[in-house]
Amino acid sequence: MQFYLPGNQFGAPGPLAILVLLLWIPVVLYIFMRFPAQKAIVISFISAWLFLPEAAIGLSGLPDYTKVSATCYGVVLATIIFDVGRFSTFKPSVLDLPILMWCLCPYATSISNGLGWYDGVSATIEQVVTWGLPYFLGRLYLNNLPALRQLAIGIFIGGLAYIPLCLFEIRMSPQLHNRIYGAHAFGDFGQSIRYDGFRPTVFLRHGLAVGAWMMVATLVGIWLWQTGTLKKLWNIQIKWLVGALFVTLILCKSTGAYVLLLLGAGIMFCGKIFRTAIPVFLLIVTMGAYLYVNAATETYFTDQLVTSLSGVFDADRIQSLEFRFNNEEVLTDHARERPVFGWGGWNRSRIEDPSTGKLAIQDSLWIIAFGRNGAFGLIAWMASMSLPVLSLFTLYPASYWSKREVAPIAVLAIGLTMYLFDCLLNAMINPIYILVCGGISGLVQKGPVQQQLRRKPKKSRRVPASTAGYLPAQRRSRVSQSKT
């Protein structure tokens, strides 16, 4: 058994970090005893993701025990103890096929590389715990409009809870994880310095993850406010809370989060004004085309992209983007040597960058998927994240996005799309989005409820007795019949 901080070669987690991780499963059981199941799963996942340490307990032959796996184990155990009948409500759907392929592809990768069945089983279990369990729990618990509304509000509240913590670290530097859990979550402290100030990391692995979280919380808050879905929270008008979130997001100094917020809000308001979901479909198709061109062809257009963006963003951001693209080109060339199932784990998917003499850095989630699991894994991952969104907006067109019942799920789907877009540049695995993906798939599997949303049943018109004598004889007979 080994205690460590993922991605951090400096220091080790303190005893409190290990104690919190070990006690989290009993805490999840208590949460399920205290709250209804759908609310309990929202509280469990969001609380764990935002406040538990970025630490891991290494177990031989099993996935690392982290805050994500601890939450998944706790929820599964709570379901077995308190609500075992819920498992029988799960009905497989065609939309579940991509995530199933994504979870099983590590086994095919290991076998094709001659690494043996043991390595394949171990890698598959890790993929199932990281991706499959959150998706399955979302399918099981968050497969209806009220449950997804709770998740949307939970994300908004989670963003509000991070405001004072972000402001503290913006002023005092990222120190909360170090002071409470005994070590910094990320080894390179220099990456938290930005624009002569600090970028907060709080209890997440990187400042980029904090920026992305504050972005989706702000996006959810804006839409809940604009559609009237949520007017007050803690007796405070929601517009003031959204304003506080927006200001904190700006202070987080994450350029990518700014772009994602503008893009996501633009898509939402375009759907509200023009009643069309075409921008979402175009964005997903564009992302698919981008992956195809980069993975399947030897045509690199990233240099032209960097040149075109140099007039929009500052030199530091352009340099960072160019560095990522240069590494991706080296990694993609290496991945094409095993195009179907990839190289697998153990850093086999990485190669030395000739320009630096060091191993190329895998910054984006898509290049990790392509390098480790090949085209099979990349397609499965992309389909598992995008098909639920496409299916949802086929059942619930843009004309429904402003309705209070549909507004939370619509903004969650756009947030999931923004996460998928962010994965083209970053590799921040967030279980909340996987929960969203599972919940949307479950909702789509049940079919639309548009007829219920289109109009409310009309109230029966009662004719006053004093006017009954003035009605035509034929109508008086109908009234008398209706009364009997």
What pLDDT sits at residue 196?
Answer: 73
Task: Identify the band that residue 480 occupies on the pLDDT scale cut at 50, 70 and 90.
Answer: very low
Domain boundary among 89, 122, 146: 89
Task: Identify the band that residue 482 occupies on the pLDDT scale cut at 50, 70 and 90.
Answer: very low
- Whether 47 and 190 map to the same domain: the answer is no
Instruction: Find the domain containing 14 and state its range.
Output: 1-89
Under 8 Å between Cβ of 138 and 438: yes
- Whether 286 and 402 map to the same domain: the answer is yes
Q: Of 215, 219, 218, give the one whose Cα is nearest residue 204.
A: 215
Domain count, the chain: 2
Task: Identify the band that residue 183 occupies on the pLDDT scale cut at 50, 70 and 90.
Answer: confident
Instruction: Report the C-alpha gap between 313 and 26 in whole angstroms.
Output: 47
Question: What does the pLDDT average to over 373-391?
Answer: 96
What pLDDT sits at residue 163?
Answer: 96
- Whether 98 and 80 map to the same domain: the answer is no
User: Which tokens belong to 411?
Assistant: 């903004």
Task: State the burial class of residue 439 (Cβ atoms within 10 Å of its Cβ: 0-12, 13-18, 19+).
Answer: buried
Q: Comparing 197 with 414, which gets the higher pLDDT?
A: 414
- Whether 176 and 222 map to the same domain: the answer is yes
Domain boundary among 62, 89, 116: 89
pLDDT in tens, 303-327: 666 666 666 666 666 777 777 777 8
Q: What is the dihedral of CA 29, 30, 35, 36, to 10 degrees?
A: 20
Question: Does residue 464 lie in a domain region?
Answer: no
Most distant CA pair in the chain, distance:
98
- Whether 47 and 127 map to the same domain: the answer is no
Question: Does residue 358 lie in a domain region?
Answer: yes
- Whether 318 and 387 map to the same domain: the answer is yes
Residues 6+ apart with CB under 8 A from 222: 242, 265, 268
Question: Does residue 237 lie in a domain region?
Answer: yes
Q: Comparing 480 with 373, which gets the higher pLDDT?
A: 373
Instruction: Report the C-alpha gap between 154 and 42 in whole angstroms.
Output: 7
- Whether 59 and 186 map to the same domain: the answer is no
Q: Flag the least confident range among 59-73, 174-188, 458-472.
A: 458-472
pLDDT in tens, 70-114: 999 999 999 999 989 999 999 999 999 999 999 999 999 999 998
Residues 6+ apart with CB under 8 A from 427: 362, 363, 364, 365, 368
Q: What is the dihedral of CA 281, 283, 289, 291, to 10 degrees?
A: -120
pLDDT in tens, 223-260: 999 999 999 998 999 999 999 999 999 999 888 899 99
Q: Comparing 5 with 389, which gets the higher pLDDT?
A: 389
Instruction: Report the C-alpha gap between 121 and 2 in whole angstroms.
Output: 21
- Whether 419 and 315 map to the same domain: the answer is yes
- Whether 204 and 74 map to the same domain: the answer is no
Question: Does residue 460 lie in a domain region?
Answer: no
- Whether 430 and 444 map to the same domain: the answer is yes
- Whether 103 and 47 map to the same domain: the answer is no
pLDDT in tens, 354-367: 777 788 888 899 99
Instruction: Report the C-alpha gap between 71 and 29 in whole angstroms.
Output: 10
Instruction: Report the C-alpha gap between 211 and 217 in whole angstroms.
Output: 10
pLDDT in tens, 431-467: 999 999 999 999 998 876 654 455 444 444 444 444 3
Q: Please tell me the total number of residues recorded for the chain in this structure.
A: 484
Task: Identify the band that residue 202 occupies on the pLDDT scale cut at 50, 70 and 90.
Answer: very high
Q: pTM of the entire structure?
A: 0.88
- Whether 185 and 296 map to the same domain: the answer is yes
Question: Does residue 471 lie in a domain region?
Answer: no
Question: Does residue 482 lie in a domain region?
Answer: no
Question: Does residue 475 lie in a domain region?
Answer: no
Average pLDDT of the chain to the nearest whole number:
86
Question: What does the pLDDT average to over 282-307?
Answer: 80
Question: What does the pLDDT average to over 282-304?
Answer: 82
Under 8 Å between Cβ of 340 and 375: yes
Domain boundary among 36, 67, 89: 89
Question: Does residue 416 lie in a domain region?
Answer: yes
What pLDDT sits at residue 5?
Answer: 60
